[in-house]
Structure 1
Amino acid sequence: MPEAPQEGSDFARLPHESVHRLTKPLAWFLRIEAVAAAVLLFFTIAAVGLANSPWAEAFLGVWETPLGLRVGSQEFVRSIKDWISDGLMTLFFFLVAVELKRELVLGELRHPRMAALSVSAALGGMAVPAALYLLLQSGQAGEAGWGAVMATDTAFVIGCLALLRSRIPQSLRIFMLSLAIVDDIGAILVVAIGYGHHLAWSALVAAAVGLVVVRLMAHVGIRSMPLYILAGISIWFAVDRSGIHATITGVVLGLMTPTGRWVSDERLYRILDRVVAHPAGNNNEGSGATQDRQSLRLAETAARETLAPAERIQIALHPWIAYCVMPLFAFANAGVPLSMGDLGDAVTVAVFVSFALGKPVGILAFTWLALRLGAVKPPELDWKLLVGGGILAGIGFTMALFISNLAFDKSLINQAKLGIFLASLFSAAAGLTLLFWVTRQKSRAL
C-alpha cells in the first residue's frame, strides 16, 4: 500500500510548471481594474494616430475588407469592422447582461430601494442627454443621432475610479458600475428598437424558437457549454436576418443565464471525502476506469458546478472582453481624421454638450427625484461624490462610437466622433479633478 504524503508536502498543491513564473505576475497584473481602461486608451490613441498619418488610407481601408461565407442562396458577408461591431460586441453585451442579472439576484440591485437609485440615475443619464441633443439638432441633418449620446463607457468610468483607489468609498464604485450596466442595456435596446430595419418575421420566429430550445436545455439539465455556444450562434444569425440588430442576442441570452448553483458546498465536500477515502490506483492500469479515477472525475465536475453558470461565464469571458474585444473595437472604430474646422460643427457641439452637460444633469436630477420617492442612498455617498460620478458618466466613448456607426450618415460620422472624443476627455479630466479635490478635502478634515 503506498505511503500517504506527509502533511505540508508539495503533494497538497498542484504541480508547479515553469510557465507559472509568467502567469502568476500576469494574473496579478490583470486584477488591476485600471489596466483595462489603459489598454483601451492605448488602442484608441493608436487608431487616432494612424488615421491622421501617411498610412491613414491603408489603415482605414483594411477594416472595410469584406469577409464571410455563402451557403446556397444565403450570404453572410460583411466588412471586418462590421463583424467586430455586430459579432464580437455581442459578447460584450452578453457579459453586461450576465453582470446585470447577478446584481439583480445576488448583488446590490436585489434590494429594490437600493436598485431604484442606480436605475433612476441611469434613466436620467439617458433621457436628458437625448432630449438636449434633439433640442440642439431639431430639424437638422444629425437629428437621428440622439441615441449616440445616451451611452456611458463602463471600462473607462471604472478605470478612472480605480485611479483614485481607496480615496473614494466603495459605494460610489457600486453606484457607478450599476448605473453603467443599466445604461449599456438601455443603449442596446435603443439600437434594437430605434436603429433596426424592416422585420423579417420568419427569421424572428426562428430566433424565438432558438431561445425556447435554450430554455428547455437548461430546464432538463444539459450543461454542455459547446451546445449552448452552437445554439447562441444559430440564434445570432436568425436575429441578424430578422432586421433587429443582432447584438440584442447577447442581452437576451445573458439575462437567461442561470445564477443558481447545481452543486452545494456540502455535497462537494462529501464528494471530496470519497476521493480521500479511495487509495491510489495501480499505475500500471491503463484503462483509467478504477474507482479512484471515477471519484476524481466526479470531484472535478462537482468543483466546477459549485460555481453558478453566470459566475463561470463572467470569470471566463471578462479578461477576453476587457483586453481583446473592447480594444479591438476601439482600434477599428476610433480612427477619425481630425480637423480643426469640425470643432464648431453643429453635430460636434451637440454631442459634446449632451455628454458633458446632459449626463451629469440627468443623473443628479433623477437621483434627487428617486430619493424623494423613497430610494435609499448610502450615507457615505454624498452629493459632491455624486456630482463627480455624474461628470465621469459623460465618458461615452465605446458605446457612443458603436451607436454612432448606426445613427449617423457617413458625411456626419467624423463630426460625431470628434464630439465624443472631446466630451470623453473633458468628462474624464473634470470628473477626476473634482473627485480628487473632494476626497482631499475630506482627508484634511479628518
Structure 2
Amino acid sequence: MIDNYESLPHETADVVTKPFARFLKIEAAAGGLLLLAVLLALAMANSPWQVAFLGFWETSIGLTFGSLDFTRSLRHWINDGLMTLFFFVLSLELKRGIILGELRDPRQAALPFAAAVGGMVVPVALYLTLMSGKPGMHGWGTVMATDTAFVIGCLALFGSRIPPTLRLFLLSLAIFDDVGAILVVALGYGKALTWSALGLGLLGIGIVAGASRLGIRSVPVYFFLGAAVWLCFDASGVHATIAGVILGLMTPTRIWVSDVRLRAILGRVLAAPAGDHRQGDAAGQRDLREAGRALTESLSPVERLEMMLHPWVGFAIMPIFALANGGVTIDGADFGQPVSLAIIVSLVLGKPIGVLGFSWLAVRSGLAVLAPGLTWPFIIAGSFLTGTGFTMSLFIAGLAFNQTTLDASKLGILSGSATAAIIGVLILVWLTLRTARTSGTTGAGNQGRET
C-alpha cells in the first residue's frame, strides 16, 4: 500500500479521537449559544413584549385532511418534532461510541453507565420523598437527565487543565441518561394508546430494517420513512421522540466501501489523462460519479448522519427549544413552592450523590475501572455538573406539569441547574489551581536540584 506523504500519517486511534473531538467542539460552542437563548427567553418573558412572546409559541400550524388533523402548536412541533432529531443524534453518538469508539471496552463503559443509573435513581427517589402526597409527584422525570451541551460548555472553560478522560466520562454519562430519560418519557408520559397507529409505527420500523437489509442507501428515503414513523408514533399516544432513539440505534455502523476498494476506484479515475476529455465521455463521467459515491460511502452511516445533523442540532434546534421553553415570568415568583424546592434539592444534591455513589460502587465491585487521569476529586466536580439538567428537564416538565405548576417547575429547573453548575465549576477551579501550584512547586524543586 502506497503511503500518502501530502498529509499527516493516519493512526488507528484517529478513528476514535477525531469523531469524539468534533462532537466535543460542537457541544462546547452549542452550550454558549444555548445559554444566550435561555437569557433571551427570560428577558422576553419579563419584558413589555411578554404576552406576544409567550403567545407566539402557541400558534397553531399544520394541515387538516377531512377527519385527520395534523394541526399542532409551534411549541409542540419544536418539542416533539425538532427534538426527535436531538435524540436521534444522541443515539447515533451512543452507538458510535459503543461499537466504534471510546466505549468498546465494557469496563470503561461500565463507569459512566453506572454513574448515569445512579444519577437517575437517587434524584428521582429524593424527589418522590419530598413530594410525597403533594400535587406534582408525577413530575419526577424532570430530575433525571443531564444537559450535554451545558456540561461540555462548562468543561471547555478549563481547556487542557482538566483530564480528557473527564470529558469522555461526563459526555458518555450524559448520553446514557438522556437516552434513559426519553425511554421513561415514552413509557411514563404518554397518552392513551391508539393501537392501530402504534402498529403502523412498528411496521414502519420494520420497513426501515428491511430497506437496510436490501442495501438501500439513500438518505432521503430513510428520512421519509423516519417522518412516517414519527407521525404514527405521534398519533399512537407513545411520545413521538422515541422514534428518534429507535432509528438512531438502528443506524448501521459498517462502512460499505472499504479503504482498499476506495483506493482502487480513485486510482482508476486518477489514471485517466488530465484535461476536459470527460465532457461527452459517458464512461469517464460514470467513473467520476462512482468515485464520488465511494468517497461518501467510505464512512459509516452513523458517522455521516452525525456529521450532517449534529451542527444543526447544536446551533439551531437546541437554541430554538430554549427560546420556546425557557421563558419564565420572574415577577412574583415563589421559590418556596414544593415543586421548585424538590427539583432544586434533587438536582443539586440528588444528582451528585447518585453519580458519585454508584461510580464508587462500580469501581469497588470491580465492574468498572477509572480511566487514566480520572481521579475521584474530578469525579466529584463532574457529579455536580450533572445536576445541570436544563434541556431534558424542561422537556419533561412540559409533559408532566399542568399550567399552574409548570412555571414553578421551570424556576426550580433553572435555579437548580445554575446552582449545580456553579458548584461544579468552582470545584474544578480549585482543583486546577491546586494542580498548577503543585506542578510549579515540583518544577522549582527540580530546577534547584539540577543547579
User: Normalising by structure 2, what TM-score?
Assistant: 0.90
Aligned match of 2:41? 47
What displacement does 1:55 show? 0.5
Q: C-alpha offsets along residues 314-352 of structure 1, whole Å, 9 cap, x if unaligned?
A: 101011000000000000000010145411111111110
Matches within 5 A, 1:88-99: 88-99=82-93
What displacement does 1:110 show? 1.4
SS of aligned partner of 2:69: strand
Distance 1:237 1:308 in 2: 27
1:278 equivalent in alignment to 2:268: no
Aligned match of 1:396? 389
1:133 equivalent in alignment to 2:124: no
Distance 2:52 2:27 in 1: 34
* Aligned partner (choices 296, 301, 314) of residue 293 of structure 2: 301
Worse-matched range after superposition: 146-155 or 376-385: 376-385
SS of aligned partner of 2:173: helix
For residue 399 of structure 2, what is the amino acid of its counterpart? L
Distance 1:131 1:324 in 2: 34
Count of aligned residue pairs for this structure pair: 419
Aligned match of 1:225? 219
For residue 304 of structure 1, what is the amino acid of its counterpart? T
Aligned match of 1:241? 235
What displacement does 1:154 show? 0.5
What displacement does 1:280 show? 4.2
What displacement does 1:379 show? 3.8
1:418 equivalent in alignment to 2:411: yes
- Asked if the contact 1:99–1:314 (Cα under 8 Å) also holds between the matched residues in 2, the reply is yes
SS of aligned partner of 1:109: coil
Worse-matched range after superposition: 369-378 or 400-409: 369-378
- Asked if the contact 2:61–2:72 (Cα under 8 Å) also holds between the matched residues in 1, the reply is yes
Distance 2:276 2:31 in 1: 52
Aligned match of 1:383? 376
Matches within 5 A, 1:97-176: 97-176=91-170
- Asked if the contact 1:281–1:292 (Cα under 8 Å) also holds between the matched residues in 2, the reply is no
* Aligned partner (choices 67, 87, 95) of residue 61 of structure 2: 67
Distance 1:155 1:199 in 2: 33
For residue 301 of structure 1, what is the amino acid of its counterpart? R
Distance 1:195 1:430 in 2: 31
For residue 312 of structure 2, what is the amino acid of its counterpart? W
- Asked if the contact 2:27–2:148 (Cα under 8 Å) also holds between the matched residues in 1, the reply is no
Distance 1:31 1:434 in 2: 23
Distance 1:34 1:355 in 2: 21
What displacement does 1:134 show? 0.4
Distance 2:62 2:428 in 1: 47
Q: C-alpha offsets along residues 82-101 of structure 1, whole Å, 9 cap, x if unaligned?
A: 10000000000000001010
1:257 equivalent in alignment to 2:251: yes
Distance 1:94 1:342 in 2: 36
SS of aligned partner of 1:359: helix
For residue 202 of structure 2, what is the amino acid of its counterpart? A
Distance 2:297 2:181 in 1: 33
- Asked if the contact 1:119–1:179 (Cα under 8 Å) also holds between the matched residues in 2, the reply is yes
SS of aligned partner of 1:197: coil
Q: C-alpha offsets along residues 103-149 of structure 1, whole Å, 9 cap, x if unaligned?
A: 11012221111111110000000110011000000110111110011
Aligned match of 2:326? 334
What displacement does 1:292 show? 2.3
User: Normalising by structure 1, what TM-score?
Assistant: 0.91
Distance 1:95 1:341 in 2: 36
What displacement does 1:266 show? 1.0
Distance 1:254 1:158 in 2: 22
1:368 equivalent in alignment to 2:399: no
1:428 equivalent in alignment to 2:421: yes
1:292 equivalent in alignment to 2:292: no
Distance 1:307 1:378 in 2: 28
With over 3 angstroms needed to count, the CA separation of the structure-2 counterparts of 1:341 and 1:31, relative to structure 1, is closer
1:76 equivalent in alignment to 2:70: yes
SS of aligned partner of 1:70: strand
- Asked if the contact 2:257–2:294 (Cα under 8 Å) also holds between the matched residues in 1, the reply is yes
Distance 2:268 2:217 in 1: 23
Aligned match of 1:21? none
What displacement does 1:193 show? 0.5
Matches within 5 A, 1:307-322: 307-322=299-314
Q: Percent identity?
A: 53
- Asked if the contact 1:129–1:150 (Cα under 8 Å) also holds between the matched residues in 2, the reply is yes
* Aligned partner (choices 201, 212, 216) of residue 206 of structure 2: 212
SS of aligned partner of 1:47: helix
- Asked if the contact 1:48–1:336 (Cα under 8 Å) also holds between the matched residues in 2, the reply is yes
